[in-house]
Amino acid sequence: MDLVKKNIAPRFRLEGTLTEAVPYGSGHINDTVRLTCELENGKTRRYILQRMNDDIFKNPKGLMENIMNVTSFLRNKIIQNGGDPDRETLNVIRTVDGDNYLVDEDGDFWRMYIFIEDATCFDIVEKPEDFYNSALSFGNFQKLLADYPASTLHETIPNFHNTVSRFEDFRKAVEEDTYKRAAGVQKEIRFVMDREPETHVICDALAKHRIPLRVTHNDTKLNNIMIDNKTGKGLCVIDLDTVMPGSALYDYGDSIRFGASTGAEDEKDLDKISCDLKLFEIYTKGYVEGCGGSLTEEEIRMLPMGAKLMTLECGMRFLADYLQGDVYFKIHRPEHNLDRARTQFKLVADMESKWDEMMSIAEKYL
């Protein structure tokens, strides 16, 4: 992997001697490598080295400014609350020149974090308690950032969860049909087109101030949180690239679409995909608690809509990427994005069939 061959690591302030570099994790966006260094006393130190995806993040400097500011803000709060700031938030390792990221000769952007030990990122819910604990942590993350100066945040991806503009992007991808793939996915395209009116619901509620704009994470899937191996509690919210002003419905909804599904995001057998209402309820309880009473009544009433729209949006994004030749999300097999889109649409349809139950569950937390 050129990532490892490039020998970028020594240009950061590593402790000890580098002994191993392996591709790591299952993120769809950045290239991630886990580094191991041996110290003179026989102990090891591990790090996460990432090549930031600058096709997607057009302003890596602004992005790193967000990360430095958000993590130092969180660090202070964690210290005030008696926590361990070295494990409960990301810690950036500087380059030997003292910068918080590095640009190499090819123009690639690199950053490094302390590797958080004795904790796990899950790609699927193995134990409902993990999902509940992730909800508490994502809710708490939002609570901790409630007084963060939102106007200082760079918008790292404009209109990231603007479902109306996401729909327009989707429509354009269908019209252009650059790779001549649309004919084979008419059913999926129709599924999205039929739901166009709903894509406005959260945008309208924000525009009319029926729900508040908050500082949110915006990418709250289960593998963006580390669960402590010893305590089983949510330890650290990671992947802070998209911390931006947004809606609590985005964070809640994105967690549900990923974690309350009975199958993996890229499961080929759609019979295995449904929305597990027990997991839906567990997450709802944890998120409302984690937010510490800060969600408004309207937000709570709209939680099911958050779940449905974030799932529809993600499906639209996967399908648009399939139509555009798989340029955004990393794929590991042909039609990977199409498989992903199909699971999302199956989930949306299943949520629609369970709508009344989802509403009743949310209303319990009013």
- Give Cα 190 to chain centroid, integer Å: 27
Q: Residue 113's binding partner, choosing from Mg ion, ligand GN1, ligand ADP, none, with beta-carbon cut-off 5 to 8 A by kind?
A: ligand ADP
DSSP states of 105-161: TTS-EEEEEE---SEE--SS-SSHHHHHHHHHHHHHHHHHTTTS-GGGS--SSTTTT
Indicate the residue among 29 and 185 with the shorter CB distance to ligand GN1.
Answer: 29
| CA–CA gap between residue 174 and residue 191 (Å, rounded) | 13
Closest by Cα among 202, 239, 234, 203 to 219: 239
Rounded to 10 degrees, the C-alpha dihedral 90/91/94/100 comes to 40
Which range binds ligand ADP by CB under 6 A, 28-36, 136-144, 274-282, 318-326? 28-36
The verdict on 30 binding ligand ADP (CB under 6 A) reads: yes
Q: Sign of the C-alpha dihedral, residues 200, 203, 206, 211?
A: positive
Q: Could you say whether residue 259 binds Mg ion (CB under 5 A)?
A: no
**Partner that binds at residue 345, options ligand GN1, ligand ADP, Mg ion, none, CB closer than 5 to 8 Å by kind:** none
**Shortest CA distance to 316 belongs to which of 199, 219, 222, 217?**
199
Residue 47 or 250 having the CB closest to ligand GN1: 250
265: partner contacted, choices ligand GN1, Mg ion, ligand ADP, none (Cβ within 5-8 A by kind): ligand GN1
Two structure tokens written together for 146: 């409630």
* From the list ligand GN1, Mg ion, ligand ADP, none, partner contacted by residue 242 (C-beta under 5 to 8 A by kind): ligand GN1
Binding footprint of ligand GN1 on the chain (CB under 6 A): 27-29, 219, 221, 224, 239, 241-242, 254, 265, 314
One symbol per residue from 94 to 133: x for binding ligand ADP (CB under 6 A), - otherwise; what is it? -------------------x-xx----x------------
> Does 29 help bind ligand ADP (rule: CB under 6 A)?
yes
Q: In the chain, count of helices (H) and strands (E)?
A: 13, 11
**DSSP E strands, 173-260:** 214-216, 225-228, 234-237, 244-246
Residue 27 in the binding site for Mg ion (CB under 5 A): yes
Residue 223 as a binder of ligand ADP (CB under 6 A): the answer is yes
Q: Using the rule CB under 6 A, is 70 a contact of ligand ADP?
A: no
Cβ burial of 87 (10 Å; 0-12, 13-18, 19+) is middle
Toward ligand GN1, which CB reaches closer, 77 or 121? 121
Contact of 268 with 180, CB cutoff 8 Å? no
Q: Is 85 in the site for ligand ADP (CB under 6 A)?
A: no
- Pair of tokens at residue 239: 């992947």
The window from 139-147, 208-216, 217-225, 330-338 that contacts Mg ion (CB under 5 A) reads: 217-225
Return residues touching ligand ADP (CB under 6 A). Answer: 24-25, 27-30, 32, 48, 90, 113, 115-116, 121, 223-224, 238-239, 241
